[in-house]
A = this chain, B = another copy of it.
Amino acid sequence: MHIVCLDMEGVLVPEIWINVSLKTGIEELKLTTRDISDYDVLMKKRIGLLEKHKLTIGDIQSVIRTMDPLPGGREFLDELRAKTQVLILSDTFTQFAAPLMEKLAWPTLFCNTLMIDGLGRVTDYRLRIKDGKKKTVEALHSIGFTVTAAGDSYNDVTMLKSADKGIFFRPPASILKEFPDLPVTETFAELMAEIDAFIGA
């Protein structure tokens, strides 16, 4: 039995932190896992910047509520959910995800949690588990699933490699040089064709 694990940001929705950077004018918030492959280093930097600029969780949520799925993302996901099972595996946070999940008709999302203090300040983050995307693929294998996975970033690579079928979607050139053995797709039609070919849909 098949299941498809999809990265969220860069695949179905825009990069949240980049949008926060654009709206707030804080240039350094543009950095993502595409730029800094160590997620803890990246998150510590982001939390420090929020503190420095006195941005609360409410400020960030206001930005997220203005965002929409990437063009074609909702339609791709709707079509995929009608033909097989889907999970969204993301390094985002529950506090960020809800408005975007609503716009995607509430697919099931496995992600992380931000620690927020009484004044709405982001004090820390909590990973559900270390290397959660890869561990989730392994857990799905342990209960009899054949796993297809698609993502765009450094934080997707261990997931893509542990899946039965791993597919890059719109990856940056830098990752392609490091991991030239994974198939690369640029459009939702190409991604769907790769998935269909593997699951026999």
- On A, residues with C-beta under 8 Å from B are 1, 78, 81-82, 85-87, 94, 98, 102, 105-113, 127-129, 132, 135-136, 139-140, 142-145
Contact = CB atoms under 8 A, between A and B. Distances in A.
Interface of A (DSSP majority class): mixed
19 contacts: A1-B94, A1-B112, A82-B102, A86-B108, A105-B105, A105-B106, A106-B107, A110-B143, A128-B144, A128-B145, A129-B143, A129-B144, A135-B142, A135-B143, A136-B143, A139-B140, A139-B142, A139-B143, A142-B142
Q: How many copies of this chain does one complex carry?
A: 2
A99 to B, nearest CB: 11
Q: Looking at A1, A78, A128, A132, which has the most chain B CB atoms within 10 Å of its CB?
A: A1
